[in-house]
Amino acid sequence: MEQRVIISENFEKELANAIAACEHDQVFVLTDEHTQRLCWPVIACLSELKGAKVITIRATDSHKDIAALSHVWQELGARGGTRHSCMINLGGGMVTDLGGFAASTFKRGIDFINIPTTLLAMVDASVGGKTGINFNGLKNEIGVFNDSRFVIINTRFLQTLDEENICSGYAEMLKHGLIANEELWSELITFNLVQPDLKVLQRMVGASVKVKERLVSQDPRETGLRKSLNLGHTIGHAFESWSLRRSPILHGYAVSFGLICELYLSCVKTGFPTNKMRQTVGFIRENYGSLPVTCDDYEELIELMTHDKKNVGGHINFTLLSDVGNMKINQTATNEEIKEALDFFREG
């Protein structure tokens, strides 16, 4: 059944319609400790959620693990969940990823609705059917493709976010602009991220979600065109896993750092215009800073890249660009070329 994404204008009515469309003998709401405190009170009073059972897990991606997943399964079972129950995932990408996987596997699958509360989840994690957990020190190592029945996006929740989390989600929007068209890319790299206009941002979120929806609808299982969405992620996920072993960074920051490296590779290998690379990299460095990576970390980062799920035949697989909106999927790079890209990243 196709996922329906709603850019919300009348949240209560849209949520009521979504719950009514899902089979449900009872409704569970999954939150983390932050969204339980900040976001659940915003919607707890809605009549459709009267009697809903709230399950709360620990926050941050470092807890997107099998222990948290097991806790959700146990709570669903202990509190009377059946194959006819429905779960609402109220939170950021960590909650929608883990909650989607829990719902997809409990009793062989129950309906679920995503209500993303972070910018990252709105434009990326909650849309497209990817669910899962981190395992064995690797990002999203275990999971399934399974669409939520509905995604309800309401930017009222962005008022609960700090600047760092706005920036994290914005990195995925920047990626969408790079793979979409000049107009969207240009607007994104000139937007004031320090003092964001939330009304303008809501319109941009809608445009960003449409980019992802278009690619996912054409390639739901990521066999071809959908790989375009991996721009910045091959090296970005390595940065993220590297940081998990030290001082964890938000996903969008890792992606923005991955974009710097992969735009450099795009210039070298597929002819991406240098001026556009420098404009984009300048915006990222100004708003995201850097990582304390040294050349001593290169081998570890490359080893982490070898575990990427997109790899084919033992080759590290990249999505690169020949221009804004012109994607080149299934690209490879030598270890020396990857080290050059890491050198370029560190030069900033």
pLDDT tier, 129 (very low <50, low <70, confident <90, very high otherwise) = confident
**Dist CA 316 CA 302 (whole Å):** 9
State whether 245 and 121 are in the same domain.
Answer: no
Please give the model's pTM, rounded to 2 decimal places: 0.85
State whether 185 and 280 are in the same domain.
Answer: yes
Tell me the average pLDDT of the chain.
Answer: 93
**Dist CA 332 CA 127 (whole Å):** 27
**Pair 266, 322: CB distance under 8 Å:** yes
State whether 204 and 148 are in the same domain.
Answer: no
Task: Give the domain CATH number at 197.
Answer: 1.20.1090.10
Q: Considering 123, 138, 160, which residue would you say is the last residue of a domain? A: 160
Where do we find the tokens 């995201």?
288
State whether 97 and 125 are in the same domain.
Answer: yes
Task: For residue 272, count other CB atoms closer than 10 A to its CB.
Answer: 24
State whether 227 and 300 are in the same domain.
Answer: yes
Q: Considering 109, 140, 160, which residue would you say is the last residue of a domain? A: 160
**Dist CA 297 CA 59 (whole Å):** 28
CA distances from 342 to 8, 164, 258, 282, 317 (A): 40, 23, 9, 16, 16
State whether 275 and 243 are in the same domain.
Answer: yes
Q: What is the DSSP string of 17-48?
A: HHHHHS--SSEEEEEEHHHHHHTHHHHTTSGG
Quick: pLDDT tens for 55-90.
Answer: 999 998 889 999 999 999 999 999 999 999 999 999
Q: Over pLDDT 90: what percentage of the chain?
A: 75
Determine the structural domain holding residue 91 and report its residue range: 4-160
Domain count, the chain: 2
- At residue 308, does pLDDT exceed 90? no
**Pair 72, 101: CB distance under 8 Å:** no
Sequence-ordered list of residues with C-beta below 8 angstroms from that of 331, at least 6 positions apart, any chain? 265, 269, 270, 317, 318, 319, 320
Quick: pLDDT tens for 43-55.
Answer: 999 988 999 999 9
State whether 189 and 336 are in the same domain.
Answer: yes
- Class of residue 13 by CB neighbours under 10 A (exposed 0-12, middle 13-18, buried 19+): exposed
Backbone angle region of 57, left / alpha / beta, with phi > 0 → left and psi within -120 to 50 → alpha? beta
